[in-house]
Amino acid sequence: MKNNYDNIARYYDFLSRIVFRTAQQDAQTALLPYIEINSKVLIAGGGTGWILEEIAKRCPPGLHIYYVEISANMIALAKEQKYQHEVTFINMAIEDFNRDRSLIFDVVMTPFLFDNFSQERIKPIFLHLHSMLRPGGRWLFTDFHYQKVAPLWQRILLQSMYVFFRILCHVEASALADIEPLFKTHHYTSLFEVFYFKKFIRSAVYYKEGLVNNC
């Protein structure tokens, strides 16, 4: 199966820390203040689930988190974390989840998810996530920072990662795509942006414009 991190689940966090120290974690925890009390939260591609412990420490009560992961091994690790909110674990590709849109979310989180997808799959997956986020909702986005001309060390590191993850996890992508135009076209406003690891990692909070029905 493409983009499935089963083979590396047990070592993923360790490898992340060796290469990026705490940057990948810091980039995600920086977004957590944007989750409000009683929110319904969708996390797509959350990995080992360390983020659930951070949410337990930093976020207000009343959250219901849907944790959608394609990797069964990642889900098994996530279930072992000390989370406190209500968490529904779903071992499924995000593109197959909630196709009838019976669930609508206040917050969608995609931490290092889009860098896995080939160019032609990015837009349909973006649109699927977009359709599950309510107007007035927030999209918490973290990924490697797309730049037209990235520094040489970033290009080398990125390509090495793509080779490594293609061999072990059958990652389909071979280059980063620019997601920003999709947020612009679909009327998202940027509320917050922050960079890590010499601008190699970018996190952003996008607000979905549209009519908010408070009734």
By CB under 6 A, name the binding residues for ligand SAM: 3-5, 24, 44-47, 68-71, 74, 93-95, 111-113, 116
Helix segments in the chain, DSSP class H: 9-20, 23-29, 50-58, 72-79, 119-132, 152-169, 180-185
Q: Alpha-carbon distance 143 to 146, whole Å?
A: 9
Residue 45 or 137 with smaller CB distance to ligand SAM:
45
Tell me how far, at minimum, the Cβ of 204 lies from ligand SAM, in Å. 15
Residue 30 or 68 with smaller CB distance to ligand SAM:
68
Residue 59 or 113 with smaller CB distance to ligand SAM:
113
- 3-state secondary structure string, 42-103? EEECCCCCHHHHHHHHHCCCCCEEEEEECCHHHHHHHHCCCCCCEEEEEECCHHHCCCCCCC
Tell me how far, at minimum, the Cβ of 88 lies from ligand SAM, in Å. 14
Residue 95 or 180 with smaller CB distance to ligand SAM:
95
* Alpha-carbon distances of 89 from 26, 49, 169, rounded to whole Å: 23, 10, 21
Tell me how far, at minimum, the Cβ of 141 lies from ligand SAM, in Å. 12
Dihedral, 163, 167, 171, 174 alpha carbons, nearest 10: 30
Tell me how far, at minimum, the Cβ of 197 lies from ligand SAM, in Å. 13
Tell me how far, at minimum, the Cβ of 74 lies from ligand SAM, in Å. 4
Residue 94 or 179 with smaller CB distance to ligand SAM:
94
CA 84 to chain centre: 20
Contact of 63 with 35, CB cutoff 8 Å: yes
Dihedral, 113, 117, 123, 128 alpha carbons, nearest 10: -50
Tell me how far, at minimum, the Cβ of 162 lies from ligand SAM, in Å. 11
Residue 94 or 205 with smaller CB distance to ligand SAM:
94
